[in-house]
């Protein structure tokens, strides 16, 4: 069932009120600061402020939300004890320039209480004052300290979950890739909420959701481009897999992952493509698209059905982890409380997809073609779209960009066809909402 016309008009009106990120990010920070001050602490959640020393000596603030079991009896009086089964390391969204721990405090408290997990929220430094990869490295420094038991000595390392929304999902994926490549620690589980995974949000991008949902649905295509431009040092960063995880040559041996996308989000398709690449490269993954939801909905009141559905999904994903990772196992059952979920069988990964994904050129798998600008090499033009989609026979004459080289064999191996078409995605994406058809 499509979003009602009345709801679309309301969402479009809200979208028009938002300032241009490149000019209004400071004003938005002030508004978010004011909103954050209105957060009411829960007596069932203890809040502690800690810090981690970054590699450049900066003290990175962190806020820890610990769910509590509060018990009172006439005989023993009031008894308060910690009540959690694992720890979530959370990276907030906001386009790397907005959002902060204060603004996300209500969502973090709600997450801690509903999921019975301690939440560690990272106050990483933001753009444009701090460019890529500084925000990512702040997150990585905190992750290193948490996994080394320096931040929280009592943490059960196997039960640490990486989690982020939007730009925070981008950072979580980057942290997971860095951890795998450097060998500093090994996360077992990761949750990505409507993550940014790619660097091309031009009208010529291969992902239809950027064009379909790029105007009038809260987050606009132009805003994504502005936020990215504020984050990068120059066009060469657009080719870096740590900024665009979808360009990572090999996505195998990463944490078991839950990817959640929103139906009316311009980032929807790239999040789902990232899940497809994880699947093809042998990483255990589940991908769910939330019906009628827009970008950023995780911050909305939990009375809304799609927010409740998301918590059901998160609870199911964490509870079906192996027991030593804080769950009950096994993984892959239907989401609890999601009566309208329509699950299409997940396509199995195979060697051809994984091998094809590993054949991208260059040390990072994203080196550009000689004589071409970085933006074109990163696939930001029409030639890139034609090469990937295979729209006609002439496409064979167009040199493949790094992304098309990574995605085409994955699409073929998973039987998705084309550019991760709607029909192809029916085979493996679970849908939550009032309508089980895509």
Catalytically active residues, by annotation: 166, 265, 295
Tokens of 15: 């979208």
> What radius of gyration, in Å, describes the C-alpha atoms of the chain?
21
Number of Cβ within 10 Å of residue 367's Cβ equals 13
E strand spans, 228-335? 256-262, 285-290
CA angle 344, 348, 351 (to 5 degrees): 155
Joined together, the tokens standing for residue 167 give: 């730009």
Contact status, residue 139 vs residue 66, Cβ threshold 8 Å: no
Check residue 98 and give left, alpha or beta (phi > 0: left; psi -120 to 50: alpha): beta
* CA angle, 408 then 414 then 416, to 5°: 70
Encoded tokens for 177: 């890739």
Q: Which of 264, 261, 167, 260 has the alpha carbon at shortest distance from 213?
A: 264
H helix or E strand, kind and range, residue 87: strand 87-91
From residue 370, give the alpha-carbon distance in Å to each of 116, 239, 335, 373. Answer: 52, 14, 48, 8
Q: Is 397 exposed, middle or buried (0-12, 13-18, 19+ CB in 10 A)?
A: exposed
Question: What is the spatial distance between Cα 405 and Cα 311, in angstroms, rounded to a whole number?
Answer: 36
In this structure, what DSSP letter does residue 127 have?
T
Instruction: For strands 256-262 and 285-290, give the pairing.
Output: parallel
């Amino acid at each position: 069932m499509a979003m009602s016309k009345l709801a679309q008009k309301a969402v479009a009106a809200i979208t028009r009120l938002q300032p241009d990120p490149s000019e209004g990010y400071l004003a938005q920070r002030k508004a978010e600061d004011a909103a954050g001050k209105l957060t009411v602490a829960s007596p069932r959640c203890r809040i502690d402020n800690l810090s981690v020393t970054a590699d450049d000596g900066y003290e990175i603030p962190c806020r820890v939300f610990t769910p509590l079991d509060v018990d009172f009896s006439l005989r023993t009086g009031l008894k308060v004890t910690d009540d959690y089964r694992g720890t979530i390391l959370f990276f907030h969204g906001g386009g790397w320039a907005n959002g902060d721990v204060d603004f996300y405090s209500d969502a973090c408290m709600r997450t801690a209480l509903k999921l019975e997990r301690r939440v560690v929220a990272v106050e990483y430094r933001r753009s444009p004052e701090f460019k890529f990869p500084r925000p990512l490295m702040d997150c990585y420094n905190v992750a290193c300290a948490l996994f080394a038991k320096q931040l929280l000595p009592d943490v059960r390392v196997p039960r640490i979950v990486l989690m982020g929304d939007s730009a925070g999902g981008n950072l979580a994926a980057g942290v997971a890739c860095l951890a795998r490549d450097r060998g500093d620690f090994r996360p077992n589980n990761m949750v990505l909420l409507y993550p940014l995974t790619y660097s091309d949000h031009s009208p010529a991008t291969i992902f239809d959701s950027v064009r379909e949902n790029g105007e009038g649905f809260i987050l606009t295509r132009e805003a994504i481009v502005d936020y990215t431009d504020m984050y990068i040092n120059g066009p060469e960063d657009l080719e870096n897999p740590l900024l665009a995880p979808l360009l990572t040559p090999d996505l195998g041996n990463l944490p078991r992952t839950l990817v959640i996308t929103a139906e009316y989000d311009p980032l929807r398709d790239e999040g789902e493509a990232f899940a497809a690449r994880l699947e093809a490269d042998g990483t255990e993954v589940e991908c769910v698209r939330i019906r009628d939801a827009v970008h950023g909905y995780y911050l909305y009141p939990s009375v809304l059905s799609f927010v409740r559905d998301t918590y059901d999904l998160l609870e199911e994903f964490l509870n079906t982890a192996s027991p030593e990772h804080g769950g009950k196992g096994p993984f892959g059952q239907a989401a609890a409380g999601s009566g309208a979920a329509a699950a299409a069988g997940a396509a199995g990964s195979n060697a051809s997809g994984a091998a094809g994904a590993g054949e991208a050129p260059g040390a990072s798998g994203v080196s550009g073609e000689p004589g071409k600008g970085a933006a074109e090499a990163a696939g930001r033009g029409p030639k890139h779209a034609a090469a990937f989609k295979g729209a006609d026979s002439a496409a064979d004459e167009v040199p493949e960009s790094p992304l098309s080289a990574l995605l085409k064999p994955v699409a073929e191996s998973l039987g998705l066809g084309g550019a991760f078409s709607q029909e192809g995605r029916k085979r493996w994406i679970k849908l939550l909402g009032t309508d089980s058809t895509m």
